[in-house]
Amino acid sequence: MKAHWDVVVVGGGHAGAEAAWASARVGCRTLLLTRDLGAIARMSCNPAIGGLAKGQTVREIDALGGLMGWAADRTGIHFKVLNASRGPAVQGLRCQSDKAAYSREVGQRLAARPNLELREGAAAGFVVAEGVLSGLRLEDGEELGCRAAVVTSGTFLRGLIHVGAERQAAGRWGEMPCVDLSDALRGLGLRIGRMKTGTPPRVAGKSIDRSKTVRVRGDVAPRAFSFRSRLERFPRLPQVDCFLTHTTERTHDLIRRNLDRSPLYSGVIRGRGPRYCPSIEDKVVRFAERDRHQIFIEPEGLDTDWTYLGGLSMSLPADVQDEVVRSLPGLEEAEILRPAYAIEYDVVFPEQLDDTLAVRELPGLFLAGQINGTSGYEEAAGQGLVAGVNAALVAKGREQAPFTLGRHEAYIGVMIDDLVTLGAEEPYRLLTSRAEHRLLLGGDTAYARLVEKGMAYGLLTEEEAAPIQEREERQRAARAALGGSRVLPDRGTLLELEAMGVGLSEETTGAGLLRRPDAPASLRDWLAGRVREPLGGLDDEEWERLVNEIRYEGFLKREREVIERVRRAADRPVPADFRYRGVPGLSAEAAEKLERHRPRTLGQAGRIPGVTPAAVTLLLARLASGERRVSS
């Protein structure tokens, strides 16, 4: 079949948008196919981007030329750094965005992108020629020739919505599901699983009595996700507050009394739900000793009255939902605009993918986002970006090495490695604790980690990268200057330092002073005054990063050494055709798991559940003896 397109991206959510954008940037003729062009990058659940581990991921996407961070900045109406009192590695920037504005913003960027066309339609199947993907068949029967495709079907694969006993086949509230595509994936021989997620009720903002709730303000000086926002007005939209209320004894009572009407509890829903995003039924049952759970009241935008009740996702019938919502302080008169619902959908078990997110069984086909068993806009976007670049590389004839990110390089790398080696038993969410090298993966270092790679793959032009690199250069120069600037305990210096409450007994450096945990903020200005160039031109964020790097220096160094040690052992490649069955001493269970996951390296093998360290050692012994045989 004639390849009319280099890459076709199926689905226009957060994964699809980044995939199409990345593929077009790499230089491929790209088509984004979606049921509804008005629903590009729709925030189907909460109105927020970022958070712990997720905020770092958004920065990574930004450093790789992606859309999410910039769109969030331009449409953000409430910014907050979580864990602000902790170290940089475990802080997380999050913003509430105006949902409609966000969707519009991303849609406009995509529409304006050269090489990229947007079209309404839905894929129903795959055209395969000589074992390789050669096109897609649409639901209306049309066939589109392409060299590679990225499927980002979100919750649409045989999506089924539950509100109490009422059920409706839908991909999202009021949207048609994809049934044929699910069958087509099964037809490829892929193992398909079923997962569940949920979303809370939306209520009319004007029906809430905010005087009975707690006001939650955003940060006084909002931080931006994107480097691009430094070059333009930020924040662009007026900033608003969120509010906090809580469940009551009556809420819990209602839920307990009506548990039999919740399909989550009556056994109707069999898909696995996310434990980190439990339904309110789950929270009340599993943590029965808690007398309240907090509920976040978040506006969905500036021009809408729709308000999101974070923490109240459930699958109870609509009449119970009314009572539950009205049992919350401040929501006694609340009007529900759309009930909470649970949704079940098909996923492709991700261990059937390689680390470029390509389906092993069908070259040319890539999967990204919730179809791979993840949850979250940021997780989807990160995968979309990686799948989009790799699909483009395949379409261009694999002239460049595959685009992959290591676990020590990016949260996106941690996520993809987890998915393709561990699989996903429940919807996967990024957490900082999943990253063994999280000290190195702070949001403040994303550009230092990834910009060069982005440029090498055409995701960022030199012109775009210039201000980032300038900033990195300034950071390096500042670090060197602070390390080299001597501070002597002479009379004048001692007096100046004493005025700031800083004591000095022996010679030190600027870095030495900043390393002290009690170093006052005024020390920055003092140092900037002494070393005007390059310290004079640093902004707050740059200072913060500098101080953090100085304070965490020892830990970071140790971390890098560990990485080097682990890498040497874990990077030992396992041949793609390695026969696990018959490795002496290897249990049948471990052999079966290894056959299924086909790890690329010994490190990946060791992370597969059920593969014990002893089994890894057996593999190592086998690999080593194989190498000896080959070399002798």
Partner 1 sequence: MAPLVGDAAGDGDVLVARATPVGTGALAIVRLSGPAGRVLALAREMAPRIPARPQARRAYLSPFLDEEGSVADEGLVLWFASPASSTGEEVVELQAHGSPAVVELLVASAVSRGARRARPGEFTRRALANGKIDLARAEGIGLLAGAASRGEARRALGLVRGELSRKVAALREELLGVLVELEARLDFAEDVERDGETSALARIVSARAALRLLASEAGAGRAPGVVPTVVIVGAPNAGKSTLFNALLGEDRALVTELAGTTRDAVAEMFEVEGERVRLVDTAGLRETTERLERLGVEAAGRAAAGADLLLVAREAGGESPARGDLPEGVPVLVLETKADLPGERRDGELRVSARTGEGLTALRREIGARLVSCLGTGEFGGLPRQREALLSAAAALDGLGAEGPAEIAAGAVRAGLHALGEITGETATEELLDRIFSTFCVGK
| Pairing status of strand 30-34 against strand 116-120 | parallel
The most distant pair of C-alpha atoms in the chain lies apart, rounded to whole Å, by: 85
> Of the listed pieces 70-78, 99-107, 319-327, 619-627, which binds partner 1 according to CB under 8 A?
619-627
Is residue 113 within 8 Å of residue 388, measured between CB atoms? no
Q: Show the site string, 268-287: x = touches partner 1 by CB under 8 A, - = not.
A: ------xxxxx----x--xx
Among 9, 28, 52, 362, interactor with partner 1 by CB under 8 A? 52
Half-sphere exposure of 230 (CA within 13 A, CB side): 15
Q: Which helix (H) or strand (E) holds 454?
A: helix 446-456
Closest approach of Cβ 604 to partner 1, in Å?
14
- Scan for tokens 């907090």, then name that residue: 294
Q: Which residues contact 217 (CB under 8 A, 6 or more apart)?
A: 241
Among 168, 493, 509, 587, interactor with partner 1 by CB under 8 A? 587
The full DSSP string for 44-100 is -S-SEEE-TTHHHHHHHHHHTT-SHHHHHHHHEEEEEEETTTS-GGG-EEEEEE-HH
Closest approach of Cβ 594 to partner 1, in Å?
13
Among 438, 471, 479, 598, interactor with partner 1 by CB under 8 A? 438
Closest approach of Cβ 42 to partner 1, in Å?
19
618 lines the binding site for partner 1 (CB under 8 A)? yes
Q: Show the site string, 57-96: x = touches partner 1 by CB under 8 A, - = not.
A: -------------------------xx--xx-xx-x----
Report how many residues bind partner 1 under the rule CB under 8 A.
60
> Of the listed pieces 31-39, 392-400, 406-414, 604-612, which binds partner 1 according to CB under 8 A?
604-612
Integer Cα distance of 627 and 595 in angstroms:
21
324 lines the binding site for partner 1 (CB under 8 A)? no
Whether the link from the prior residue into 235 is cis, omega within 30° of 0, is yes
Integer Cα distance of 418 and 435 in angstroms:
10
Among 96, 134, 313, 445, interactor with partner 1 by CB under 8 A? 313
- By beta-carbon proximity to partner 1, the closer residue of 39 and 566 is 566
- By beta-carbon proximity to partner 1, the closer residue of 79 and 366 is 79
342 lines the binding site for partner 1 (CB under 8 A)? no
Nearest in space to 375 (alpha carbons), one of 343, 352, 407, 353? 343
255 lines the binding site for partner 1 (CB under 8 A)? no
- By beta-carbon proximity to partner 1, the closer residue of 268 and 566 is 566
| Pairing status of strand 336-338 against strand 123-129 | unpaired
- Scan for tokens 């992959």, then name that residue: 404
- By beta-carbon proximity to partner 1, the closer residue of 20 and 619 is 619
Integer Cα distance of 41 and 104 in angstroms:
8
626 lines the binding site for partner 1 (CB under 8 A)? no
What residue ranges bind partner 1 (CB under 8 A)?
A: 46, 52-53, 82-83, 86-87, 89-90, 92, 200, 274-278, 283, 286-287, 290, 293-294, 296, 310-311, 313, 431-434, 436, 438-439, 552, 555, 559, 562, 569, 582-587, 602, 606-607, 609, 612-618, 620-622, 624-625
